Amino acid sequence: MLGYLFPGQGTVRVGMGAWLRRRPVARAVLDEVDGLLTHPISALCVRGPLDRLVATEHAQLAVTACNLAALAVLREEGYEPGVVAGHSVGELTALHAAGVLGLADTVRLVETRSRLMSRVGVTGGMRAVMGLPVERVEELAALAQAPEEPLVVGLENAPGHVVVSGSTAALDRLTGLAADADKIVPLSVGNAFHSPLMAAAVPGWAEAVRAAPMAAPRVPVVPNVTGRPTEDLDVLRDALIAQLTGRVRWTDTVTVVDALGLAVEVGDSKVLAGLSRRAGARCLSMADPGTLRRLAREFAA
């Protein structure tokens, strides 16, 4: 069985999607996405500039466009997933891959999500804490936060790779407390995503999600906030709403997908494949030119 993992906005870079445009089926999807947007995204992906590409309102659309295009390549090659998941905004492409959302509705929801999140006043940020178990990072976050200055674990990316999200003051205090961490790295993001500081975007996001046409999934989906596979549409819808302020339980997700079959990172990124290796799981990447040949060998009749 194949498991599809779709990357999130932290994987954007200038030049992304260039190889996809050389595949007619992928180019057609990129052009379709551009046609759905007020401001097309493909040219920004390929040429930048980086400061515009990494902005929330562009980054989420850029990674989604590449995810959808890479998915089209796999479909053209005859592959279909047995389970899907997506990292943060990548969860929307996962829902599309599972048949829950149509392509146009996927793009419109991502555009709405990115707009709502970019409009939240910047009151914090995110930092990766390397070398500590999530339980230790949770303890440090609890010590560092204060009233009106929240700090939470936003992303459990892999063992020893945890991201905290919250107010700048609390992040600074955590950095002072975490002497046992191997490294603490500020992330180039626009705000404290997957934290209570995103609460202002939730009402608009919930309205958009509940209004979007959704069908029952054809295959199990592993939502970020639960890390458990489900085919319950109500659970998937509620999890998508909760994801805006909730934790991305990616380590659990990778473990689930690895137990079911071979994972493939579907997009123009190798980040999720690297995180999977840290978790002791196997994951190929569509950004690796040899992946389609390896899939052909693995799934030869």
What residues are labeled active site?
88, 194
CA atoms within 13 A on the CB side of 82: 10
Distance CA 255, CA 273 (A): 13
d(CA 125, CA 147): 17
> Would strands 124-130 and 262-265 be described as parallel, antiparallel, or unpaired?
unpaired
Q: Can you give the three-state secondary structure of the chain, one letter per residue?
A: CEEEEECCHHHCCCCCCCCHHHCHHHHHHHHHHHHHCCCCCHHHHHHCCHHHHCCHHHHHHHHHHHHHHHHHHHHHCCCCCCEEEECCCHHHHHHHHCCCCCHHHHHHHHHHHHHHHHHCCCCEEEEEEECCCHHHHHHHHHHHCECCECEEEEEEEECCEEEEEEEHHHHHHHHHHCCCCCEEEECCCCCCCCCHHHHHHHHHHHHHHHHCCCCCCCCCECCCCCCCCECCHHHHHHHHHHCCCCCEEHHHHHHHHHHHCEEEECCCCCHHHHHHHHCCCCEEECCCCCHHHHHHHHCCC
Q: Which two tokens stand for residue 181?
A: 């961490």
Of 51, 40, 39, nearest in space to 14 by CA: 51
